[in-house]
Amino acid sequence: MLLPALATTPAKVALRFPGHELTYAELASQASSVAYGLVGSRRVAVWARPDVRTCVVVVGALLAGVPVVPLNPKLGERELDHILTDSAPDLVIDDLLPDGPPVDLPEPDGEAPALIVYTSGTTGPPKGVVLPRRALASNLDALAEAWEWTADDVVVHGLPLFHVHGLGVGVLGPLRRGGTVHHLGSFSVAAAAEALETVGTMMFGVPTMYHRIAASPEHASAFAKARLLVSGSAPLPATLHERLEALTGQRVVERYGMTETLMNTSVRASGDRRPGTVGLPLAGVEVRVVGDEPGEIEVRGPNLFLEYLNRPDATREAFVDGWFRTGDLAVVEPDGYLRIVGRRTTDLIKSGGYKIGAGEVENALLEHPGVAEVAVTGEPDEELGERVVAWVVATGTPSTAQELTDHVARLLTPHKRPRVVRYVESLPRNDMGKVLKRELR
């Protein structure tokens, strides 16, 4: 079974949101009612707000074997029209939950679609990633092994529920273990600290959340109590790792995944929590880096998606001999740890005959005391092909461009230094904290 605790209904809280919680028995009852009302549906969509209702609908759809499309509540008209036209759900669930008379709910096959999650659409309209049940089950079990994750854990987070991070790992993960989801509704350092001080054992977050934690030393003791702090969805700068360790005594665990693959690699709970790396491949997942380093990461295993909905062309292009081409660039350290350096489409800069990973330059710049945040891009250059451009949010009075350029040239090979430095008040980011580099161009 994908969620065995719904059959055994342990006497404990399954879901906790601000002002509302459900025990396993209550969740099983409410989700079953939803499942009865969805039997026979081909596909459903749900407005994925951070509340108990979203989780009940998703669990109910899983019980019924009906694929569910989580909808970002902030979708614009054009995006919503595209997703609903493309996925063609039989029902869009908002406040009123479906129900129906009790019927048998046999466990679907592992290859049956479970979730259809739409990508961010950085290179065109969002694509629907069809994730099967076996991908969720195998991946959550592999994470449990890596993180020593058990039914005793209470996972604290404030992640959105329309991504695989918040919904797949942050909700279905604890429910598969028979543990507890403690969702903050929306993230705040104070709320996360209170949860970890009282009931929480693990926290899932993204770098923007950890930046805020590092800036709140008054809450350090609460985060020090956590069994595990996990970061994902974007790289956590090495300098931030150091600040958090100095503040809390904790070394944050990083993992690497994406919508199409769920989680591919992770630093182990009992392993070397090395800043700037995303650890080793998870159990059952094969990872290789193809081409000269930084090379492209390719993945295969039971964690992979089935297809892009209605896009056989894009599905074919994404695979080579059974390996999924992630588009992410990495270098492999001597002990096998992976270090992500960026995206092939936006973060591989070809300058003067050299391949430069934007992430490596960004990490070097973040070691300068005058840099609070930074994004590195490439732009056309008649002589070099592309030149390295740094978009910098300063910590105070901006340093000179020459000072930052010299700083990078001292830490890395000189050809990796920025040729242009542009100061900005803030970097554009999406809901998961990833910098939207296309908006900087």
Task: State which fold the 5-340 domain adopts.
Answer: Rossmann fold (3.40.50)
Q: Considering the entire predicted model, what is its pTM?
A: 0.84
CB atoms within 10 A of CB 95: 7
Contact assessment for residue 34 and residue 57, using Cβ atoms and an 8 Å cutoff: yes
CA distance 259 to 359: 21
Domain residue ranges in the chain = 5-340, 352-439
CA distance 329 to 359: 9
Q: Which CATH class is domain 352-439?
A: alpha beta
Q: Is 179 left (phi over 0), alpha (psi -120 to 50) or beta?
A: beta
Strands (E), 151-192: 154-157, 180-183
Peptide bond into 18 cis (omega under 30): no
CA distance 114 to 139: 14
List the strands of the sheet with 44-47, edge to edge.
Answer: 91-93, 44-47, 68-71, 113-118, 128-132, 307-308
Structure tokens at 235: 């790289």
Tens digit of pLDDT per residue, the chain (441 long)? 999 999 999 999 999 999 999 999 999 999 999 999 999 999 999 999 999 999 999 999 999 999 999 999 988 887 899 999 999 999 999 999 999 999 999 999 999 999 999 986 544 578 999 999 999 999 999 999 999 999 999 999 999 999 999 999 999 999 999 999 999 999 999 999 999 999 999 999 988 899 899 999 999 999 999 999 999 987 888 889 999 999 999 999 999 999 999 999 999 999 999 988 999 999 999 999 998 878 999 999 999 999 999 999 999 999 999 999 999 999 999 999 999 987 777 777 878 777 787 888 898 899 999 999 999 999 988 778 789 999 999 998 888 999 999 999 888 878 889 999 999 999 998 877 788 888 887
CA distance 248 to 225: 9
